Every structure is written in structure tokens, then in C-alpha cells.
């Protein structure tokens, strides 16, 4: 299975959350809301580029709009594999977090 870095995970979740083609502006907004951090555009852009090369997200050019001289905007979209990997990651992590919580609870009990 593929492992994701925390950033990749965050950014992929942000793309996934858009439920369809996502522009950088929307992705940033979501991340700002959820993490409270204004991510550097380069880290976003570089991470997405890497994810694209791995085949977890894809990009396509939108219809040219009237703004900015009619240049097309680029959108990010989850691929099937990307969604799968996210699901796998969650599953694995869920199991591990559960273990963590239960052992934490056990420790607390014995301490008392």
C-alpha cells in the first residue's frame, strides 16, 4: 500500500472534500478553515504536483473565462486510486488510533 506524508494526506483530503473539480483558491480556503493555517502556495503546489505524478490526483483545464485575458483555469480532481489510498490510509490509521486509545485507557485504569 502507498504511504502518504501528513501534508499529502491533508491536501488530498482538501481536494476530496470539494466533491468535484477544485481550484487552488477553494483548496486553500478549506485548509485555512480546517487547520487555521495559511499554507505557503509553493508547498501546496509542489505537493499536488507530486501527487499528480503518483496518480492520486489529476488536473484538467477548465473553460477559458473572461478574467485574466481568457486564460483557462486549472482544476484538481481525485482519481479513483487516490480515493482508494485515502480510504486505506484511514483504515490503517483508525486501527492504530483505536489501539492507542484503548491502551491509554488501560494505563489509566491500572494507575488508579
Partner 1 sequence: MNKKSYPPKSALHFLMGFMDLDERENFAEYMDSVYRELLLAKGQKSARAWFWSQFIRSLPGLVKKSIEGGIFMLKNYIKAALRNIRRQKVYSTINIAGLAVGLVCCMLIFLWVHDEWSYDRFHKNANRIYRAVIVDPSVGADKKVSVTPIPFAPEIKTEIPEVVYSARISPGSMKFLYKDNRFEERGLFVSPDFLKMFSFPFVQGSTEKAIVDPGTISISEQAAKRIFGPKDPIGQILSTERGWEFVITGVFRNVPFQSHLQFDYLVNFRHLEQMGRDLHRWSDISFFTYVMLDQHADIRQVARKMTECHNTHLPELEATYQLQPLKRIYLDPPYMFDMAVHGSRQSVIAFSIIAVAILLIACINFINLSTARAARRSIEVGLRKVVGAKRGQLVRQFLSESTVVTVMAFLLALGATVLLLPAFNTLVSKQISIAILKEGFVILGLLSIVLFTGLVSGTYPAVFLSSFQPIRVLKGAHGKSIRQSFLRKMLIVLQFSLTVAVMTGVLSVEKQLRYIRQMDLGYDRSHLLVVPMQRDMRRQYESLKQELLRNPNIMSATATANLPMYLQSGTVVDEWEGKTTEKKVHLKILWVDEDYVKTFRMEMADGDFFSKERSTDRYGFVLNQAAVRAMELESPIGKRAEINMTEGYIIGVVKDFHFRSVHHAIEPMVLISEPGMFHNMVIRLAPNALRTQDTIRYVETLWEKFAPDQPFVYSFLDERLNSLYRGEQLMGTIFRWFSGLTIFIACIGLLGMASFMAEQRTKEIGIRKVLGASVPGIVGMLFREFTKWVIIANVIAWPVAYYFMNKWLQNFAYRIDLGVWTFVLSGLAALAVALLTVSYQSIKAATANPADSLRYE
- Give least dist CB 42 to partner 1, A: 3
Report if residue 68 touches partner 1, rule: CB under 8 A.
yes
By CB under 8 A, name the one of 53, 67, 105, 110 that touches partner 1.
67
Q: Are 61 and 72 in contact (CB under 8 A)?
A: yes
Distance CA 34, CA 16 (A): 14
Q: Where are the alpha helices (DSSP H) in 1-112?
A: 6-17, 24-35, 41-54, 80-111
In the shown chain, the binding pattern of residues 26 to 65 toward partner 1, with x for contact by CB under 8 A and - for none, equals --x---------x-xxxx-xx--x----------------
- Please, what sign has the CA dihedral across residues 86, 29, 31, 68? positive
Contacting positions for partner 1 (CB under 8 A) = 23-25, 28, 38, 40-43, 45-46, 49, 67-68, 71-74
Amino acid at each position: 500500500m502507498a504511504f502518504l506524508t501528513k501534508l499529502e494526506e491533508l491536501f488530498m483530503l482538501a481536494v476530496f472534500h470539494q466533491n468535484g473539480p477544485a481550484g487552488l483558491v477553494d483548496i486553500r480556503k478549506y485548509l485555512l478553515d480546517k487547520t487555521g493555517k495559511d499554507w505557503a502556495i509553493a508547498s501546496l503546489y509542489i505537493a499536488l504536483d507530486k501527487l499528480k505524478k503518483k496518480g492520486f490526483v489529476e488536473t484538467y483545464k477548465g473553460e477559458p473565462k473572461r478574467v485574466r485575458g481568457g486564460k483557462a483555469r486549472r482544476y484538481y480532481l481525485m482519481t479513483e486510486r487516490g480515493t482508494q489510498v485515502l480510504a486505506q490510509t484511514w483504515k490503517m490509521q483508525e486501527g492504530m488510533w483505536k489501539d492507542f486509545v484503548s491502551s491509554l485507557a488501560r494505563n489509566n485504569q491500572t494507575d488508579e
